[in-house]
A and B are shown apart, each in its own frame.
Chain A
Amino acid sequence: MARIRTILVDDHADFRRLAQVLLSELDSIELIALGENGEDAIRLCEQHRPELLLCDIAMPRMGGIEATRLIKAQEQPPVVALVSIYGDEEHRQHARSAGAEHFINKVDFLPAVADLAQELTETPHA
């Protein structure tokens, strides 16, 4: 089964470590790179052309929403899932209008990514 090449970006080192461990439990996800901020997200996506980007919204200097807007201007952009501790409609709207296809609440991280991985392997993604 082809694994989903994934990049994770979050400014908190402890969350990156935790997420790595959690994601290693998912067979369908192949974590290929980690980043710390919005600019990393842009450069890493350009360099690796992943299928999926998991990106924190709240990061210093350039956050996930701004980064998503710019990444979606790239050729063959990845599916973007923005990660936030907020699940309210306004944040979701901002995420959507930046072009993110999915919105993940940090509280629910692993199950949400598992569902997303399932969805991506089942439906052919552009």
Chain B
Amino acid sequence: MPESRILVLDQDEERAREIAAILHFLDFSPCVYSELAAVEADNLEPRDLLAVVLGKQGLGGSHDVSRWLTRDPQHAPLLLMPEYGDDTLGLDPADVWHLAYPVQQLQLTEILRRISIRHLNAAGEAQGPLLGPSGDSAAVRRVRHMIRQVAGYDTSVLITGESGTGKEVVARAIHAQSSRRALPFVAVNCGAIPAELLESELFGHEKGAFTGAISTRQGRFELAEGGTLFLDEIGDMSLPMQVKLLRVLQERSFERVGSNQTRHCDVRIVAATHRDLEERIGEGKFREDLYYRLNVFPIETPALRERPADLPLLLEDFSVALERRGRGRVRLADEAVSTLQAYSWPGNVRELSNLIERLAVLHPNEPITLDMLPERYREASPAPLGEAAAQAQGLPAEGLDLRAHIQAIECDLIAQALDATDGVVAHAAELLKLRRTTLVEKLRKYRMTRPPGQSTGAAGGASAVAS
């Protein structure tokens, strides 16, 4: 995704050149055109751009531009020259900025800085499926089930899990399946925004409310009105801010920074953290009352190492997404896949997606073999389940009971497979490359009773969830 191309669309050539020069100086890559037709002729798309500076256009031209931009729901923001006044050309006001001319360096720099940050925030989003995280493992099916359960209600949700396990994907899926789906989904990374700016980021500010508040600005609560607000890294929020947030959750109202006017809000809150909030409560860093407000419906995202069986499906998803972005197809050899399944993935799904993207750049359109994987992914021994226990063992001098020995190995591997699939026999059979009926036979043979509450098939038990 591009981070620096800015379209300057203006029939006033001198002004356009001047703005382009400033943008170039500010380290961006300006593209100057006088009209939309030329832009389209050069195949420049709204999604290729960081921002669009719009100046003088012919009759109806500005509305053509607005239509062209909004073809892409995640289009670049629009920076309008003064002749447009307060007009937003039918776009969401959050995506429109009004520039002064002659150019006010400070204003322009600040606007572009905010656009850059917003863009960086957005670039981190995975275009995940609207059903939630992908995979067939019991753990991830459970997450999808919980998403379905809670989406229809307005209850607050707290998502916990290691970094990179797709907490935002879960939040987006909740939104997409809720009655609020047609309204905005607004994400805020509470950990990335400095404490002193978080309040104005969430509640907005009035012009002049503090140094640098050059205009009135809506906060994220207002932008999310009617929809869902995703508070990521809520464990990093400062205590004073937690108090303010608690009040909004209790009273459904807030004031912009520098204003006395109380505003009501109708927003569904989804929060996420990789931190252990109970521990932080114990340390006095997180408020217990806020925790209980948020934790009405907790969802835990599993670590990638807990669900190695999902790896092939995730690889396929990433590969398809890369292809759609024009970065080529990534195919991994079987031995590479099983090696990756044995890796501990401290960075979870995000780490996997980074690896695949790198491989796509370094080895475009060629199959990825084991030797192409970076060393740390190869360090875990990639023994496929069937060979794990078949260690080279010398025959003891006194001989051994071959049948008992083989049965012990088989029993152990079956137990491991059941463990890895949360007791779902159908999935364990898949892992062992057996027919389900064959595995059921063996279970009977070894008299391996199922732990209570789990089922042998698709019909739901407590934890094996029909999807």
List chain A positions with a Cβ less than 8 A from chain B: 11-12, 39, 42-43, 46, 56-63, 65-66, 69-75, 84-86, 88-91, 93-94, 97, 106
Contacts and interface: CB of A to CB of B under 8 A. Distances in A.
Contact of B3 (A58, A89, A93): A58
Nearest to B326: A61
A42 B120 CA distance: 19
Given A11-B29, A12-B27, A90-B193, A57 B355 contact: no
Contacts, number: 82
B200 to A, nearest CB: 13
Interface of B: 1-5, 24, 26-29, 113, 116-117, 120-121, 123, 191-194, 351, 354-355, 357-358, 361-362, 374-376
B120 A70 contact: no
B422 to A, nearest CB: 30
Contact of A94 (B5, B27, B120): B120
Contacts of A60: 2-5, 29
A67 to B, nearest CB: 9
B5 to A, nearest CB: 5
Nearest to A89: B194
Contact of A42 (B117, B123, B362, B376): B362
A84 B28 CA distance: 11
A11 B28 CA distance: 9
Contacts of A61: 2
A62 B28 CA distance: 13
A58 B119 CA distance: 11
Given A42-B361, A43-B362, A75-B376, A65 B29 contact: no
17 contacts: A42-B358, A57-B27, A58-B29, A59-B29, A60-B4, A62-B1, A65-B3, A65-B120, A71-B358, A73-B355, A74-B374, A86-B113, A90-B117, A91-B120, A93-B191, A93-B192, A94-B117
Contacts of B351: 73
Contact of B358 (A74, A86, A91): A74
Nearest to A67: B361
B340 to A, nearest CB: 12
A60 B2 CA distance: 5
A63 B231 CA distance: 26
B4 A59 contact: yes
A60 B6 CA distance: 10
Contacts of A66: 1, 3, 123
A74 B358 CA distance: 8
A63 B55 CA distance: 27
A90 B2 contact: no
Given A11-B29, A94-B192, A73 B374 contact: yes
A21 B376 CA distance: 37
A58 B355 contact: no
Contacts of B4: 11, 58-60, 63
Nearest to B378: A75
B458 to A, nearest CB: 37
B2 A46 contact: no
A57 B3 contact: yes
Given A59-B3, A61-B2, A73 B358 contact: yes
A43 B113 CA distance: 28
A43 B361 contact: yes
A90 B1 contact: no
